[in-house]
Amino acid sequence: MNLRRIPLSAIVGMLVSFGFLFVAIFAPLLAPYELGQSIGDVWEGASDKLPLGTDNLGRDLVSRMIYATRTTIFIAGAATFISFSLGSILGFTAAVKGGWLDMILSRAVDLLMSIPTLIFALVVLAVLPANIITLILVMGILDSTRVYRLSRAVAVDINVMDYVEAARLRGEGTSWIVFREILPNALSPLVAELGLRFIFAILFLSSLSFLGLGVQLPDIDLGGMVKENKEGIIFHIPAALIPAFVISILTISVNLVADWILNRTSDLKGGRG
């Protein structure tokens, strides 16, 4: 891969995304204060010691945001991992096997997608215990329907190509067809989709936490921080805007990378990628 061919936007996106990942991994080392440590007055302004000031309970905003970023990335990442593995494995299987399996899976996904994801998540969260495992599973399973649709569509398109038929006629087994013929050609759109699903998971988690139905105290994520500090807005205190802004930066930078990969998909015919 030629580095100079990567557009500037994608490079910026990658650098920022890696920055976030770094912060998430080393959160305890980077944060100046503990997660729940109260160190000053409520909604103190920015100072040399506290670059962003304090929150609604007088905790350091920077430290709290570092931990919140960690939670957000961890939960969104885990949910994406589940939605992606579940969706793509089922989607590929449905496309290659066809028949009744494809029929049942596809109709089930149609039904699940006939209800908006947020609504269905709210229904389920009304009865399930509020914890991080529940959140990850609910988000992952609901979002796997999108991944299923895409990976099935991509695999079906490739599956009818003459070169896959040629492999069948040659006597290749299912695993060769999936891993050597279909997968290499489906990789680009799927990787781009991975980015989009991750963005969606971040936004979805943040929305749930903002509504008070996501991550529960004492854990905190970025959406939850917006909720904690939203009362400050009417008192001219923009503390709630800062975590919301951080979410936007994170999603935009991942989106820049995903967009670049998606555009590269059309280069498939260009040979060596």
**Nearest CB to other proteins, comparing residues 84 and 200:** 200
Binding residue (CB under 8 A) for other proteins from 38, 77, 203, 219: 203
Does residue 46 bind other proteins (CB under 8 A)?
no
Question: Which residues, in sequence order, are CB contacts of 266 under 8 Å at separation 6+?
Answer: none
Per-residue x/- track, 208-247, other proteins (CB under 8 A): --xxxx---------x--x---x--xx-x-x-xx--xx-x
Does residue 8 bind other proteins (CB under 8 A)?
no
| Total residues at interface with other proteins (CB under 8 A) | 69
**Nearest CB to other proteins, comparing residues 39 and 191:** 191
Does residue 269 bind other proteins (CB under 8 A)?
yes
Binding residue (CB under 8 A) for other proteins from 120, 149, 153, 219: 120
Q: Are 46 and 53 in contact (CB under 8 A)?
A: yes
Does residue 99 bind other proteins (CB under 8 A)?
no
**Bridge partners, 60 (sequence order):** 54
Q: What is the 3-state secondary structure (H, E, C) of the chain?
A: CCHHHCCHHHHHHHHHHHHHHHHHHCHHHHCCCCCCCECCCCCCCCCCCCCCCECCCCEEHHHHHHHHHHHHHHHHHHHHHHHHHHHHHHHHHHHHHCHHHHHHHHHHHHHHHCCCHHHHHHHHHCCCCCCHHHHHHHHHHHHHHHHHHHHHHHHHHHHCCHHHHHHHHHCCCHHHHHHHHHHHHHHHHHHHHHHHHHHHHHHHHHHHHHCCCCCCCCCCCHHHHHHHHHHHHHHCCHHHHHHHHHHHHHHHHHHHHHHHHHHHHHHHHHCCC
Does residue 162 bind other proteins (CB under 8 A)?
yes
**In whole angstroms, how close is the CB of 115 to other proteins at the nearest point?**
5
Does residue 27 bind other proteins (CB under 8 A)?
no
Binding range to other proteins, per CB under 8 A, among 20-28, 44-52, 75-83, 207-215: 207-215
**In whole angstroms, how close is the CB of 5 to other proteins at the nearest point?**
6
Measure the CA angle with vertex 71, ends 197 and 16; round to 5°.
60
Does residue 29 bind other proteins (CB under 8 A)?
no
Does residue 115 bind other proteins (CB under 8 A)?
yes
**In whole angstroms, how close is the CB of 66 to other proteins at the nearest point?**
19
Interface positions with other proteins (CB under 8 A): 2, 5, 110-112, 114-120, 122-129, 161-163, 165-166, 168-172, 180-181, 184-185, 199, 203, 206-207, 210-213, 223, 226, 230, 233-234, 236, 238, 240-241, 244-245, 247-248, 251-252, 254-256, 259, 264, 266-272
